[in-house]
Structure 1
Amino acid sequence: MDYLPIFTKLENRPCLVVGGGSIALRKVHLLLKAGAEVTVCALQFHSSLLEKGNAQQITLLKQAFTPELLNNKWLVIAATNNKEINQLVADKADQLQVLVNVVDSPEQSSFIMPSIVDRSPIVVAISSGGKAPVLARLIRERLEALLPMHLGRLASISGEFRHRVKAVIKNVSLRRRYWEKLFGNGELANLLQKGQTDKAVQLMESSLTEDVARGDVALVGAGPGDPSLLTLKALQLMQQADVVLYDRLVSSEILDLVRRDADLISVGKEAGNHEVGQSRTNQMLVEYALQGRKVVRLKGGDSFIFGRGGEELEELVEAGIAFQVVPGITAASGCSAYAGIPLTHRDFAQSVTFVTGHRKANGEQLNWKALSISNQTLVVYMGLIQSEEIQTQLIANGRSPDTPVALINKGTSSQQHVVIGKLSELVLLGGGLAGPTLMIIGEVVSLAEKLAWYKPESNQKLSRDPFLVNLA
């Protein structure tokens, strides 16, 4: 991070703008919106600056810049078209430890002016660190379209009600939950959008009487690895969580999207190495919920496809804990799509079967005869260790040794690696792979080279959004 994003209070603080043209005018306008006392120094002034001076909104000094003008100033903006003057302003400001911005010259500036989405008191600032101002402006335009105009009123009325909430709900975490619930269902925003302020206040008051101290659990599928494959609901719950219990397959990029002050607890598992046993994970979900905390159980892929989600929910039901389930893109769908392998195809496969190579000790054997029929796609989760058995059993039960096979290692991530060969080569194909690997067996694998679109080395992904395509 090249710059620390901060919001500075300028109300009644003296600020200086050096320059009298249209660029200086834009900066003056922003400073006035923030309540600053603005002085403009220039030899010539834009007509609008003259109008503001005559209206005593700003102070105009018709003179060349001198260092004395920086005395007692909070910040200064150099907005001239003269590089020498701009450099002089920057140098003198640094000497006096006055914040300085030189327009279009971040290397000379101690602060930079971001692109702004103004829904006061909600203000969103977007910065590229001075490297790509047009890109920052495009992002701002997108946010302008997304954020409703009544957002400021929503923030204002909530601010007026804060003292009431604080008096009734003493616990900080429970107060946060009250606001999350109030903002989350959209009813308050809808009332304000319609101008029904009285009803909005009634809703806020009535919500105070509800029980906000109850904990709950959300079973959230995090998808196969690419954070852009998270569902919107998954992201919302991750941002609201007090505690997140996550698996080994959840990528660090996804964990970075969890609310910053949430407790992150690894309960990862891999073959032969369970960091936290399943029974203990089940108990932790119950314990944290009984403490009144919002718990997210974050699992790679989808919780209900070889994710033991059902086992965890059974425990929650027995303990009387409220829960919800948010499906995720399972590894089979995500990895096959990124590898260019359709799981079904009219010419090659009329069905697809998901199995896991990792089963409970003394568990039932797979029905290899059923798994070996032609015209179906077989997807094996966690199958690397059992490669030899899978290869031997499928061929012994009638699957052709020449059946195409794909091993997708760290699928959908920037480290994705796809190895393609034949069923008779399965053991050899997986010999050099480590980490999460999905196995796809069937004739659909033959389409991989033709349909592949994801290039991990450039991290490019297809998009129908012209804005995103142009950014790629």
Structure 2
Amino acid sequence: MGPLASLPVFFPLETRKILLAGGTEAAAWKAELLAAAGAEVHVYAEDLDPVMANLLKTGGVNGRFVHHARPWGADSFACAALAIADAASDGEAQAFYCAAKAAGVPVNVIDNPPFCEFQFGSIVNRSPVVIGISTNGVAPILGQAIRRKIETLLPLSLAGWAGLAGRVRSTVMERLAPGPQRRRFWELFTDHAFSERDAPEAEAEVAALVEATGVAQTVKEGRVTLVGAGPGSAELLTLKAVRALQAADVILFDDLVADEVLELARREAKRMLVGKRGGRESCKQEDINDLMVELAKKGKNVVRLKSGDPMIFGRAGEEIERLQAEGIPVAVVPGVTSASAMASALGISLTHRDHAQAVRFVTGHSKKGDLQESVDWAGLSDPATTTVFYMGGRMAGRISDRLIREGRSPSTPVVVMAGIARPDEKRWQGRLRDLELGVAALDTSEPVLIGVGEVFDMAGTMAVPGQPEQDLATVSLP
């Protein structure tokens, strides 16, 4: 683990005394927050802002307020769990800070970091699920932006499911065996919690799920999930993919999967590289299949993590057939395929109705490493079709020659991209006749994607939010 600027600690405040000095609006916000956590908030202030006066009058949703119509004093700190103040000056802040330190009470002076022993972070409230976000006081606006991002990911119904989890926990402990069986239950429970549905009031429904889980997965039975990691950036993962990574015992990943994606996996999960790259020494598909079967039969929940989408040139069909033949449960979590990420990065539509009424994804080479002869090359020469070649770097010259021979215009726009959605993304834009030279100009060891079609004539003419052009390496021919 790397260094931490501060330690995130969740501090129960139910019925505990909190000293709050100040009757300002800022103090009122803190008072409301503290009372929501069940605290007994003692407010020391002679003058009250209307917001504070109204709060003291209406009360809190959980804790309670005690108003002392006088300034704080040394006696105010007695039995206090925390001391908070909104000070009008640094002199007043220092006096409060020193008094709290002398009394041994943790102290926070609002918006005055030098006089704070702890900070209030941004909060996402799905109580009993509570998420705190801290930037250690250096970037509060950033903290608020992070909170908004998390808010969009967590349904409001999550609070009900979290409360239900606490009520059925003892039943789960009694009825299900430790390890895979219990974890499988909580994975299913989590899927329900993130489904946007409200938690059931009747616990009989959850009890039925407990029973179904116990029958569906014995302690010795594992399963495999094929997960699409997308083209690179962890931001392009689906929520379901993240949940699968968090539930895995073992992750078998390709060497094209970005490190930031693996960082989202469960810490205890074993990570095994089973890299597969065209033209390089790598794991055989048969060996990967055998490994998945072996691990699943040992009761492991296995994630086969693939770049892009498992079902598009990901050999998923072969893996599913083998697993089903062995009677091993297998599921698929789709990912963003590279062609979609390419279109997004370029700011174009692969099926722009004025230029292309069809799109085809084509493998750039055959099993033997040659040009794929079973492809309908005449159909690919249709100017109303956008074609994207996967893993076609080594075949670029032969691809362009074949398309031109089948009638595609040598001046057809093309784009070549490597490292899509990664910091080192590279691209080349030109014409079909120069495709081989364009691929060579990229000078990259990353697999390349080749886009052919009239829609690519618009590449670079549209702004793409969140993807500044200066962040991308663009290669041109002389």
Q: Same fold (TM over 0.5)?
A: yes
Distance 2:282 2:79 in 1: 59
Query: Where do residues 57-76 of structure 1 align in structure 2 (5 Å cutoff)?
Result: 58=66, 60=68, 62-66=70-74, 73-76=80-83
Counterparts in 2 of 1:180 and 1:344: CA distance versus 1, 3 Å: closer
Does 2:439 align with 1:430?
yes
One-letter amino acid matched to 1:154: W
Query: Where do residues 112-127 of structure 1 align in structure 2 (5 Å cutoff)?
Result: 112-127=119-134
Distance 1:302 1:277 in 2: 19
Does 2:454 align with 1:446?
no
State the partner residue of 2:84. Answer: 77
One-letter amino acid matched to 2:432: L
DSSP 3-state at the match of 1:335: helix
Distance 2:16 2:233 in 1: 46
- Of 20, 33, 38, the match for 1:17: 20
- Of 136, 141, 144, the match for 1:136: 144
- Of 2, 5, 9, the match for 2:8: 5
Distance 1:144 1:77 in 2: 31
Does 2:232 align with 1:212?
no
User: More deviation in 239-248 or 298-307?
Assistant: 239-248
State the partner residue of 1:463. Answer: none
Equivalent pair of 1:224/1:335 in contact (CA under 8 Å): no
Give a deviation string over 1:369-409, Cα, whole Å, max 9, x none: 53662413332211222233334444455444333221112
Identity of aligned residues (%): 36
State the partner residue of 1:378. Answer: 387
Query: Where do residues 192-271 of structure 1 align in structure 2 (5 Å cutoff)?
Result: 192-193=199-200, 195=201, 197-200=202-205, 202-203=207-208, 206-207=211-212, 209-213=214-218, 214-271=221-278
Does 2:163 align with 1:147?
no
- Of 13, 28, 31, the match for 2:31: 28
Counterparts in 2 of 1:385 and 1:455: CA distance versus 1, 3 Å: farther
Give a deviation string over 1:29-78, Cα, whole Å, max 9, x none: 433443445444445566568778xx995474834555x76576433212
Query: Where do residues 45-64 of structure 1 align in structure 2 (5 Å cutoff)?
Result: 47=53, 58=66, 60=68, 62-64=70-72
Does 2:361 align with 1:354?
yes
Counterparts in 2 of 1:301 and 1:56: CA distance versus 1, 3 Å: closer
User: More deviation in 360-369 or 447-456?
Assistant: 360-369
TM-score, length-normalised on structure 1? 0.81
Query: Where do residues 313-324 of structure 1 align in structure 2 (5 Å cutoff)?
Result: 313-324=320-331
Equivalent pair of 1:168/1:208 in contact (CA under 8 Å): no
DSSP 3-state at the match of 2:189: helix
Query: Where do residues 274-293 of structure 1 align in structure 2 (5 Å cutoff)?
Result: 274-293=281-300
Equivalent pair of 1:338/1:454 in contact (CA under 8 Å): no
State the partner residue of 1:338. Answer: 345
- Structure 1 residue 100: deviation in Å? 2.4
One-letter amino acid matched to 2:34: L
> Runs of 5+ in structure 2 lacking a partner?
472-478
Distance 1:145 1:386 in 2: 42
Distance 2:206 2:412 in 1: 66
State the partner residue of 1:310. Answer: 317
DSSP 3-state at the match of 2:227: strand
Does 2:305 align with 1:294?
no
Equivalent pair of 1:115/1:137 in contact (CA under 8 Å): no
One-letter amino acid matched to 1:120: S
One-letter amino acid matched to 2:443: L
Distance 1:152 1:404 in 2: 52
Counterparts in 2 of 1:449 and 1:297: CA distance versus 1, 3 Å: same
Distance 1:293 1:121 in 2: 30
Distance 1:352 1:453 in 2: 22
Equivalent pair of 1:379/1:439 in contact (CA under 8 Å): yes
Counterparts in 2 of 1:162 and 1:391: CA distance versus 1, 3 Å: same
TM-score, length-normalised on structure 2? 0.80
Give a deviation string over 1:287-331, Cα, whole Å, max 9, x none: 222222222222112212211111111211221111122332321
Distance 1:309 1:156 in 2: 39
- Of 426, 438, 455, the match for 1:417: 426
DSSP 3-state at the match of 2:187: helix
DSSP 3-state at the match of 2:215: coil
Distance 1:47 1:448 in 2: 59
Counterparts in 2 of 1:94 and 1:182: CA distance versus 1, 3 Å: same
